[in-house]
Amino acid sequence: MTIKLLTFDLDDTLWPCMATILKTEERLHQWFNEHHPDIPNQYSIKQLRGKRIQLAKKHQHIAHDLTALRKKSFAQLSQEMGHTPQQEKHFIQEAFDFYFNERNKVNLYEDVIPTLEALKANYQLGAVTNGNADIYLIGLGHLFAFSWSAADAGQQKPHPVVFDSLLEKQQLKASEVIHIGDDPITDIQGAQQSGIRSIWLNRNKSPWPKELNPPFIEIDQLNQLPAIIKAL
């Protein structure tokens, strides 16, 4: 069957995720200190992260939508500061704009751009993510035909609806798609549940979880991908 679409996870597949998030939270805390010092005077970065985790548990209906969850966390802080409704609206937008700009300042792995450019010459590329990174702000928009997120699907990977809805939207069969990602559960198992072949990008050369069905193919560098796809 002809391969028509290659989909890629983003965080920890195209760039390191945790380093990006930690740096973003640090800069956001500094921004609070400059513009809304009551917040850092009361909460450390770790405490703010804890509040957001509790918020996600309380509001399960938006736990898959990291943008909505982040804005709700800002609304909570605004209410604690005693803002008027108008002040709250302004604060949420201002804080989110700063956060989102910082969140999309990623350090791509060195093999990302050359690999995507090589693959784009022959295949349609798509991003499938549980996060809220913006491929256009990051500067990858010209390489991808689209981005599909957990917020779009209404659930997070590995829920089958993520890839099932993607196939429906793109009007493709599972056999025409290959998904590439770093996470054995959210990426590999998630794609497998929809009948999509999945390639595990295992940069750290970790052992495969024995309880899971193995990936279609395993690689440890993204730049191995063009030759592998061509040989299929």
33-83 pLDDT, tens per residue? 999 999 999 999 999 999 999 999 999 999 899 999 999 999 999 999 999
CA 160 vs CA 14, 54, 65, 114: distances in Å = 23, 26, 16, 31
Is it the case that residue 154 has pLDDT exceeding 90?
yes
Burial class of 207 by CB neighbour count within 10 A (0 to 12, 13 to 18, 19+): exposed
104-130 pLDDT, tens per residue? 999 999 999 999 999 999 999 999 999
Domains in the chain with CATH codes: 5-16+106-231 (3.40.50.1000), 18-103 (1.20.120.1600)
